[in-house]
Structure 1
Amino acid sequence: PVRMAALGVTAADVSEAVRRDNFISTAGATEGNLVRINVDARTDMQTVEDFERLVVRQEGDRQVRMLDVAEVELAAENNQSRAFSSGEPAVFMAIEAAPDANPLEVSAALHAQLPKIRASLPADLELRLDWDGSIAIDAALREVASTLVEAALIVIAVIYLFLGSFRVVLVPLVTIPLSLIGVVALVLAMGFSLNLLTLLAMVIAIGLVVDDAIVVVENVHRHVEEGATPLQAAITGAREVAMPVVAMTLTLAAVYAPIAFIGGLTGALFSEFALTLAGAVLVSGLIALTLSPVMSSRVLKSHGEQGRFADWLDERFGALTGRYQRLLDHCLANRGAVLLFAAAILAALPVLFMLAQDELAPEEDTGGVFYVGVAPSYANLDYINRYLDQVVDLWQDMPEVASSWQVIEPSSNFGGLTLTHWDERERTQQQVQAQFQQRLAGIAGMELFSFGTPSLPGAGGG
């Protein structure tokens, strides 16, 4: 301003000079014999030197150029935002999947393009992927899939320990894959996908789909032990438990299906879970009333042909039944105490319900910590950047943090820490966040808050 005033130049003169001499003009073309050539006048300015030589004011032979009144440099058109990657200046780009897109497919497509983009960059530019939310989704899906296998193995082991015969276990065992195949068909028919909620429903359904088959095969097995042939036992046993199996199947389906009709975020999230679980129960009931009796008539042996392990289990369950009978007789003889205990439990339910904490979804270790900053109303970008620079120094000695990123604007300041893989760190996301928040509290001049990435949409703050 001082130099402009000394040379008699105003801001309007500078603006007018830029408009006057920096423009794009179509100079036309020149034609000759059978030849036409377009003329490129290049009337716009391309370099810093071009703008520095721009004449702002002229009085006679005296010229005032732009370099006399201003410092010219190549810079961003908008300097009201800044981005940093692990403390280094960067250009921030966020890629969000469309509402109906699969985030895993979007991430795979992006990762496939990264090598091509890196190959096209200048040597002094580096492309970094500071945060990929699909990593946590993929890990969660893999964990649920392994849990699905583990649950099936546990169910098989428990059935064998109670029934004592691999032949008997084979009947409910076949129910598990057939029910899951039927459920997958229903999931596709209803337009769902194999996501966290549908896979979780299948994990829970493993314990439910074998219930109907166990009821059928146990009743058939009882008739075999009483001396009936496997075929007679299958026919008689299936007829006896047909209505209870139908009632149990419809009851379970009726419990889960209404969740799909809940409105709002809860209904949107858990409708797939509820319908998948209800569909698994219906499919298992159908299998229990059709395939289970047929298999029981083929795979069960007569009572005299069962193994020693089955005989040993029968003795143990006989002894357990005797002890249970004595305990039940004791309870029935003291009905007052039993009713008082039941009344106390019933009365405590409202109190326990009010004392329990409520949340949409528990916080999980998703591999990242976000933070936001609130600056004073008078703060500019230099003020905000001065204090947010200190955030990078806070995590340098934290081995669980791989990198960080920041986006700074006058109206909003936010960033995040990307943690190393779960197998490469000893502390959880919540423990890292607690230490990071303590350090954020030591930064003066701004209010900084950290929070974990939400497990479900709308489940977390920020």
Structure 2
Amino acid sequence: TLGRFENIQDIEEILISNILGNKIYLGDIAKVEDTFKERNSITYVNGKPGIMLSLQKESGKNTVIVAKRVFKELETIQNLLPDDISITPVFDSSDFIKKTISQVGWVALFGAILAVFVLLFFLGNLSSTLIISFAIPISLIFTFTLLYFTNLTLNMMTLGGLALGIGMMVDNSIVVLENIFRYRELGTDAKKSACLGASEVGTAISASTFTTIAVFLPILYVQGIASELFRSMGYTITFSLLTSLLVALTLVPMLSSKILRLKVKDNSASVSKEN
């Protein structure tokens, strides 16, 4: 059979059992009627009666992408329907996700901007602040790249991890830059200061970074619902710390040798000269 019913009789003739040649059909044990299911709910959309359908994505699929594809298909279906029938979405969970991601993204951006102003206040040197400011977006780009290759999408947890990671991203760069700054104040030339300043604290900031990563590492092995919630955050923080270490030991010394400007104090006299 094709699995299609043309009338009630076809349903009544569904074979239920065949014992010793005695065939029992659905019509023998049940009453089959062509009727309507009793209504237990009523749906109105904009004051007009309608039918509500709920669509759910498969587990593991991206809600925003699925919703976008569904809306595209709904437009095609709408063109096939009569003019007096319309399709009206009443709830879209992807809207909440997009708004939340946008809010977390703005919080992360505001945190980065605030970090720059705090650095300017404490360092008191515009070129130093610019170097750290360059380090933040470069670290973020590397972090996004690692997220892409590990198939982690942008969501509340990954962006939350970025928001937490931004504050820690600048730590390594500040330590390296301050040490380079110290050598420059002592009168060492720009390139040598960059090499000495970075190599001198390289082991210390590496140990500090990997110690922090070790704190978040157990999150990657959590099982169950907690794994779905916090694993992506753990990956994001780990990636951001690793990239910040790489940037602090490579980009920051290079930039400091090119754009760091300060007045070097002469120990023999109360004069200052540009280095």
TM range (shorter): 0.7 to 0.9
Aligned to 2:156: 196
1:433-459 CA-to-partner distances (Å, cap 9, x unmatched) read xxxxxxxxxxxxxxxxxxxxxxxxxxx
* Compared CA separation, residues 244 and 117, structure 1 to 2 (3 A): same
* Compared CA separation, residues 79 and 124, structure 1 to 2 (3 A): farther
Using the alignment, how far apart are the partners of 1:179 and 1:129 within structure 2? Answer: 40
* Compared CA separation, residues 77 and 237, structure 1 to 2 (3 A): same
1:121-148 CA-to-partner distances (Å, cap 9, x unmatched) read 3344343222111111111122222223
Matched, 1:286 2:246: yes
Please, which of 214, 218, 222 is the counterpart of residue 182 of structure 2? 222
Aligned to 2:269: none
Letter in 2 for 1:101: K
Letter in 1 for 2:95: I
Using the alignment, how far apart are the partners of 1:228 and 1:239 within structure 2? Answer: 15
Letter in 1 for 2:189: T
* Displacement of 1:208: 0.9
Using the alignment, how far apart are the partners of 1:188 and 1:214 within structure 2? Answer: 28
Letter in 2 for 1:233: S
Matched, 1:105 2:65: yes
Aligned to 1:233: 193
* Displacement of 1:89: 3.8
Letter in 2 for 1:79: E
* Displacement of 1:113: 3.1
Please, which of 138, 145, 164 is the counterpart of residue 98 of structure 2? 138
Aligned to 1:172: 132
Please, which of 198, 201, 209 is the counterpart of residue 249 of structure 1? 209
Q: Is the 8 A contact 1:230 1:301 kept in 2?
A: no
* Compared CA separation, residues 126 and 236, structure 1 to 2 (3 A): closer
User: What TM-score, normalized by structure 2, do the two folds share?
Assistant: 0.77
Please, which of 85, 89, 93 is the counterpart of residue 44 of structure 2? 85
- Equivalences for residues 413-432 of structure 1 within 5 A: none
Using the alignment, how far apart are the partners of 2:81 and 2:139 within structure 1? Answer: 52
Aligned partner of residue 43 in structure 2, secondary structure: strand
Q: Is the 8 A contact 1:226 1:303 kept in 2?
A: no
* Compared CA separation, residues 298 and 209, structure 1 to 2 (3 A): same
Using the alignment, how far apart are the partners of 2:194 and 2:8 within structure 1? Answer: 95
* Structure with a larger share of its residues in strand: 1
Aligned partner of residue 58 in structure 2, secondary structure: coil
Q: Is the 8 A contact 1:217 1:292 kept in 2?
A: yes
1:371-398 CA-to-partner distances (Å, cap 9, x unmatched) read xxxxxxxxxxxxxxxxxxxxxxxxxxxx
Using the alignment, how far apart are the partners of 1:88 and 1:76 within structure 2? Answer: 24
Matched, 1:121 2:53: no
- Equivalences for residues 7-26 of structure 1 within 5 A: none
* Displacement of 1:104: 1.0
Using the alignment, how far apart are the partners of 2:8 and 2:78 within structure 1? Answer: 38
Aligned partner of residue 82 in structure 1, secondary structure: coil
Aligned to 1:181: 141
1:306-331 CA-to-partner distances (Å, cap 9, x unmatched) read xxxxxxxxxxxxxxxxxxxxxxxxxx
* Compared CA separation, residues 82 and 122, structure 1 to 2 (3 A): farther
Matched, 1:213 2:173: yes
User: What TM-score, normalized by structure 1, do the two folds share?
Assistant: 0.47
1:143-192 CA-to-partner distances (Å, cap 9, x unmatched) read 22222322221111111111122211122222212211111121122221
**Larger relative CO (CA 8 A, sep 6+): 1 or 2?**
2
* Displacement of 1:280: 0.9
**Greater displacement, 80-89 / 199-208:** 80-89
- Equivalences for residues 370-449 of structure 1 within 5 A: none
Using the alignment, how far apart are the partners of 1:76 and 1:223 within structure 2? Answer: 90
1:74-104 CA-to-partner distances (Å, cap 9, x unmatched) read x963225434135754322111011132111
Q: Is the 8 A contact 1:205 1:277 kept in 2?
A: yes
- Equivalences for residues 142-153 of structure 1 within 5 A: 142-153=102-113
- Equivalences for residues 359-374 of structure 1 within 5 A: none
* Compared CA separation, residues 136 and 224, structure 1 to 2 (3 A): same
* Higher Rg of the two aligned structures: 1
Using the alignment, how far apart are the partners of 1:268 and 1:235 within structure 2? Answer: 43
Letter in 2 for 1:257: L
Letter in 1 for 2:247: I
Q: Is the 8 A contact 1:225 1:303 kept in 2?
A: yes
* Displacement of 1:111: 2.0
What CA RMSD, in Å, does the superposition of the two structures yield over aligned residues?
Answer: 2.5
Q: Is there any run of 5+ residues in structure 1 with no aligned partner, and where?
A: 1-17, 24-74, 306-462
**Greater displacement, 281-290 / 116-125:** 116-125
* Displacement of 1:225: 2.1
* Displacement of 1:265: 0.8
Using the alignment, how far apart are the partners of 1:297 and 1:249 within structure 2? Answer: 24
